[in-house]
Structures are given as structure tokens and as C-alpha cells.
């Protein structure tokens, strides 16, 4: 039995009402992990759950018993990085594997905890319509100019080229190398705004493309190097081959690797071209400048035309898009809006006096409707008007 049942019930009530501090969250999950199936406290917590679901979150489409069982099961096995939670000073929190615990509370499938005003009221963004989030999808352009809309193409072999067979399986594109190729066919995968996609190149390298991005690559790699080019943002897990270095070209920068995992943010509307190394080693070249990165480092190339390297990079921040999240860490309003505009296909307009210097902390799942995202942002004294795909930031 839990050593502190009264405290656990208190924390559970605060958890349901989304008023736990990071320290309280840590304590709550630690106490949850001490419960057994037949613990008396388990029944008492279940009663609290019943009260809460009837009074605030009632929905005919929610299987509350299953949700409660899932919470109890995962509470006993969950491993949480509490230091990370505390460091973020989050305004809204997603706790790793427990994402399904209160999923249906907000919008049938989302775990979306937001800070409330002190008077208990909530705000809603001024919207005329709502917008769906982006999804998995891309356009594949073959070397002969043929375009394949991957969003609507069924699984199977979609093309055969000199040296490669291209297959689509469950939303992932894979190139299979055929022996005997003498020429490489150049292909390009493009993700429009509101789309992300993943592919596996013929050498086994895996590439994830963020929204409004592209990667150009040969169907098979011939010669001494494996060379690809990107725009926008991409994450690479490069297949090791000491005899054939992997080279990425992005906005005039060359990134050379042998086998490693790294992320490149090369959006033209961002202030910096950023390369972040998760594992292995990469060498960056831009003009006459050169920089070697070690794991955990991020190199920024800005208007001063010099590399700026930072250590101990927050990888959760860098990899959030690949993990289907928006993660803001002291992000100003224009930074937030650029990410939203790419994912929701928005035109963002700033009225005079809009609070451009407002900063944000926290996480939001990328499968969230735009109205919910705006409602969260509005709790930080920012106001919007959305009509069609035009989002106006108000003063």
C-alpha cells in the first residue's frame, strides 16, 4: 500500500485539474508507482476519477474505464525524466508514455494540458473557421518528370528505375538497390506545407522531412560519395559506409558524414542555418569556413557568416517535429508563428502593435486543431483572428 495515501489522493485531484507543479508531478508518479492492483488507495482514486469525469469531462465517446486502467498500468511502469520536466518550467505538459491517460478529456485522442487563468475561466481564440493539422504526405518527382502524390498512392511498387525499385509501404517510401546499375536516376521528394514524410534511400539511410521541405537524391549511389541536397528541415540516420562518405548540401553548406544521426534546419525564413549532431561525427563546410561537430553540439550559421557552436543542445527541442510535437523553449511569437504556418498552411499577418516580443514555453501535440493551439497561446495575452487560412495577430 502506498506509504502516503492522503497525499496521493491530493496530488491526483491536482493532476486531474491540471494544477500540479513539476515537483508535484514527480511526486505523483512516484506514489502511483507504489500502488498495487488491490491497493485500497486504488479504489479511492477511482472514485475521484468517477466524480471528475461526471462533473467536468463527461462524453459519450470516451471509454473511461479503459483510460483509468491504462493510467494505473502505466503509472506503475513509467520512467519519467523529472529533471527535464523541471528544467522546462512548462506551461502545459505531456508526460511520455502516459499520453493516453487523459487523451479523450480534451478532444478524443489528444493529451493537451494547459494553464488556466487564476479565476478558473478559459479563453477561446477569435476564429471564423477551424483548421485540421497537417499529416503524412509528400510528392515524389522522378527523373523523367513524372510526379507521384504519395498521400493517395496505395502500397506496393510505384516505379522501377535504372538501379532501383521504389516501394511504398504504410506511408514510408523505400528504395531497393538492384545490381548492375550504370547510371543514377535523380529523384526529389517534396513535402508541401502541412505535410511530413519519411523515406529510406538505397544505401539504407533513413530520412525524415519536415513540412515545406525537399530532398533530392539518386535512386542508387554511384561513385565515391553519396550526395543529397535538401531545403527546409530534415533528420538523417545515415547508414555507415567508411568507403563512401555521405554528403548533404543545404543552402550552400556541405555536411559530410560516414555514419551518424543529425538534424538540419535550413528554412530560408529562419535567422540561422542549424545543424545538430545526435551521434557520430560531421564536418561542416560553408565557403572557406569549416567546423567539426561532436555529439550534443549544434552549429549555427548566421548573417555574420561564421559558425557558432553550442554544447549540450536540448535534443527534445531539436527533434520535437520528428516526434510529432511543437516544443517551444523561450520562443518568441514570430518563431512560433513560422512553425504553425508551415504545419497548418497559414498566412500570418501582424497588425501594428502585435506583441512580437512575447515568449513561450511548452509542448503541443502536432495533431491538435488550430483553434486549440490558438486558445493556449491566448492564455499568454496574445490575441488572434482566423478567417480561412489567414491568421491575424492582434495588438
Q: Which residues contact 242 (CB under 8 A, 6 or more apart)?
A: 258, 259
Q: pLDDT band at residue 68, thresholds of 50, 70 and 90?
A: low
- Say what percent of the chain tops pLDDT 70: 70
Fold of 135-317: Jelly Rolls (2.60.120)
Q: What are the helix (H) ranges across 282-380? A: 315-319, 333-344, 370-378
Q: How far is CA 191 from CA 141, 173, 221, 286, in A?
A: 11, 13, 23, 26
How high is the pLDDT of residue 345? 95
d(C-alpha 24, C-alpha 391), whole Å: 37
Name which of 53-62, 149-158, 228-237 the model is least confident about: 53-62
pLDDT, tens digit, 9 for 90 and up, residues 285-294 = 998 899 999 9
pLDDT, tens digit, 9 for 90 and up, residues 323-337 = 999 999 889 999 999
pTM tops 0.85: no
Q: Is the pLDDT of residue 67 over 90?
A: no
Domain boundaries, the chain: 5-107, 126-131+324-394, 135-317
Fold of 126-131+324-394: Phage tail protein beta-alpha-beta fold (3.55.50)
Answer yes or no: same fold for 126-131+324-394 and 135-317.
no
pLDDT, tens digit, 9 for 90 and up, residues 74-102 = 554 444 444 444 433 333 333 222 222 33
Name which of 236-240, 342-346, 374-378 the model is least confident about: 374-378
Q: Average pLDDT in the 352-373 region?
A: 89
How high is the pLDDT of residue 385? 94
d(C-alpha 214, C-alpha 276), whole Å: 18
Q: Is the pLDDT of residue 137 over 50?
A: yes
Q: How much is the mean pLDDT over the chain?
A: 78
How high is the pLDDT of residue 56? 41
Question: How many C-beta atoms surround the C-beta of residue 169 within 10 A?
Answer: 10
d(C-alpha 154, C-alpha 54), whole Å: 43
Q: Which residues contact 380 (CB under 8 A, 6 or more apart)?
A: 91, 358, 360
Amino acid at each position: 500500500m502506498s506509504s502516503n495515501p492522503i497525499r496521493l489522493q491530493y496530488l491526483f485531484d491536482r493532476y486531474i485539474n491540471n494544477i500540479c507543479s513539476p515537483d508535484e508531478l514527480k511526486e505523483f508518479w512516484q506514489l502511483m508507482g507504489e500502488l498495487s492492483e488491490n491497493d485500497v488507495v486504488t479504489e479511492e482514486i477511482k472514485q475521484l476519477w468517477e466524480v471528475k469525469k461526471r462533473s467536468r469531462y463527461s462524453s459519450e465517446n470516451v471509454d473511461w474505464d479503459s483510460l483509468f486502467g491504462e493510467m494505473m498500468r502505466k503509472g506503475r511502469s513509467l520512467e519519467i525524466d523529472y529533471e527535464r520536466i523541471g528544467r522546462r518550467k512548462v506551461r502545459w505538459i505531456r508526460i511520455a508514455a502516459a499520453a493516453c491517460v487523459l487523451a479523450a478529456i480534451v478532444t478524443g485522442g489528444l493529451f493537451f494540458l494547459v494553464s488556466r487563468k487564476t479565476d478558473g475561466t478559459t479563453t477561446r481564440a477569435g476564429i471564423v473557421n477551424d483548421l485540421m493539422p497537417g499529416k503524412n504526405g509528400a510528392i515524389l518527382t522522378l527523373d523523367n518528370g513524372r510526379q507521384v502524390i504519395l498521400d493517395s498512392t496505395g502500397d506496393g511498387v510505384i516505379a522501377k528505375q535504372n538501379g532501383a525499385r521504389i516501394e511504398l509501404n504504410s506511408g514510408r517510401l523505400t528504395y531497393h538497390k538492384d545490381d548492375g546499375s550504370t547510371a543514377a536516376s535523380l529523384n526529389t521528394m517534396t513535402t508541401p506545407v502541412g505535410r511530413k514524410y519519411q523515406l529510406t534511400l538505397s544505401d539504407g539511410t533513413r530520412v525524415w522531412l519536415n513540412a515545406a521541405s525537399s530532398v533530392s537524391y539518386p535512386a542508387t549511389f554511384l561513385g565515391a560519395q553519396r550526395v543529397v541536397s535538401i531545403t527546409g528541415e530534415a533528420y538523417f540516420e545515415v547508414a555507415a559506409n567508411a568507403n563512401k562518405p555521405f554528403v548533404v548540401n543545404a543552402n550552400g553548406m556541405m555536411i559530410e558524414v560516414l555514419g551518424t544521426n543529425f538534424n538540419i534546419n535550413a528554412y530560408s525564413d529562419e535567422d540561422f542555418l542549424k545543424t545538430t549532431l545526435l551521434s557520430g561525427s560531421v564536418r561542416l563546410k560553408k565557403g572557406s569556413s569549416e567546423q567539426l561537430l561532436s555529439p550534443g553540439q549544434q552549429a549555427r550559421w548566421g548573417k555574420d557568416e561564421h559558425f557558432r557552436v553550442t554544447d549540450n543542445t536540448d535534443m527534445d527541442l531539436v527533434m520535437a517535429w520528428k516526434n510529432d510535437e511543437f516544443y517551444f523553449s523561450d520562443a518568441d511569437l514570430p518563431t512560433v508563428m513560422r512553425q504553425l504556418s508551415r504545419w497548418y498552411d497559414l498566412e500570418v499577418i501582424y497588425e501594428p502593435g502585435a506583441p512580437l516580443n512575447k515568449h513561450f514555453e511548452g509542448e503541443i501535440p502536432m495533431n491538435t486543431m488550430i483553434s486549440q493551439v490558438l486558445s493556449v497561446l491566448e492564455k499568454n495575452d496574445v490575441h488572434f483572428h482566423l478567417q480561412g487560412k489567414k491568421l491575424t495577430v492582434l495588438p
